[in-house]
Structure 1
Amino acid sequence: MTNEHDELLDMLDDQRRVFRIAMRGLSEADARKRTTVSELTLGGLLKHLVQCERGYTHILTERPGVPDGMLDTGQYTWEGGSFEELLSSYAEAARATNEAVRAASLDKLVQLPPAPWDPNPEPWSVRRIVLHVLRETAQHAGHADIIREALDGASTTDQLFS
């Protein structure tokens, strides 16, 4: 693995850590609560990032077909199941993504599956896939921080070093 692999995965791992801070100490009921006018919940964001990581790892490893849940329009909702299992799924998905990235050349081009918003997509490099997952994670870490602060006043920024 090159230094660039290390740097990209270190940044992605850091954003995952920041995102998980918003999940600290949540009950399953809290993970389902809407605290803003949007439909987003902390559990829904977590479910989305699990599907995002799994989906792009599926693409990255060039498995056939569209990854489960990747094009699910309800992917930001989470109605039930075990919150602890969902957190574990996120950790597993992150490990699988990191392993797939470490095993690949960052310059390798991978074909994306067709999607409603792009029926004939261009291939992406492994590097671009990692950067996309990083962007998704960072964006949703910000959403999670707002939702959590509205839920109970907990601030990710205040908890970064605790």
Structure 2
Amino acid sequence: MTTSPEKTDLSQALAEQRELLLITVRGLTDAQAAQRTTVSELTLGGIVKHLAQGEEVWTQIMTKGDGELPDGMLDMGQYRMAEGETLPALLERYAAAARATDEAVAGLPDLGQRVLLPTTPWSPPEPEHWSARRILLHLIRETAQHAGHADIVREALDGANTTARR
């Protein structure tokens, strides 16, 4: 299947945001990845875990389009590293989720295809549909937002960030 310029551009924008996030976790130990450095509960490992789960869930929503709630979508544990989790394992999960998202987007016949969203506690009362394009844009926004969070958490940890390595 031929990839459209729009798919290429949006996939590249998502890849760039992923790379910015990955800069913030370079050279960290598991303990550092699990460490809170601000008043927020966010940790670098928790951010990676959340974004991996987000890509897994939204890719499933985008490709199935059946309105079913994917396993783990509402799991609040996705925001922190659990006992025994390692940063390398979370990074591998994130890489696998990114590959699956990229493959799913490349395989879509049209980014305009409408997808029934699952019902969540924050859903409107009537069924909601998004285009695959909007889901991809949501993933770009979510990744960019959390890459910014990660930059702040990392800078508070040891002074490093996406532009100043320590």
TM-score tier (shorter): over 0.9
Are 1:97 and 2:95 matched, yes or no?
no
**Displaced runs of 4 or more, over 2 A:** none
Is 2:70 the counterpart of 1:70?
no
The answer to whether the 8 A contact 2:115-2:129 is kept is yes
Conserved 8 A contact 1:51-1:68: no
The alpha carbon displacement at 1:74 in A equals 3.2
Unaligned runs of 5+ residues in structure 2 are none
Aligned partner (choices 126, 148, 151) of residue 142 of structure 1: 148
Mapped partners of 1:25, 1:61: distance in 2 = 35
Whether the aligned pair in 1 keeps the contact of 2:50 and 2:79 (CA below 8 Å) is: yes
- Deviation readout 1:28-74 (Å, 9 max, x if unpaired): 00011000001000011111001100000110111653222211233
Match of 2:24 among 22, 25, 30: 22
User: 1:34, 1:140 → 2: CA distance?
Assistant: 15
Shift of 1:121: 4.1
Secondary structure in 2 aligned to 1:66? Answer: coil
SS at match of 2:79: coil
1:109/1:123 contact within 8 Å kept:
yes
Counterpart of 1:123, as a letter, is H
Name structure 1 gaps, 5 residues minimum: none
Correspondence 1:79 to 2:82: yes
The share of aligned pairs that are identical, in percent, is 55
Shift of 1:117: 0.5
**Equivalence map 1:8-47=2 (5 Å):** 8-47=10-49
Task: Specify the alignment match of 1:58 in structure 2.
Answer: 60
Q: CA RMSD in A?
A: 1.3
Partners of 2:52 and 2:38 in 1: CA distance: 22
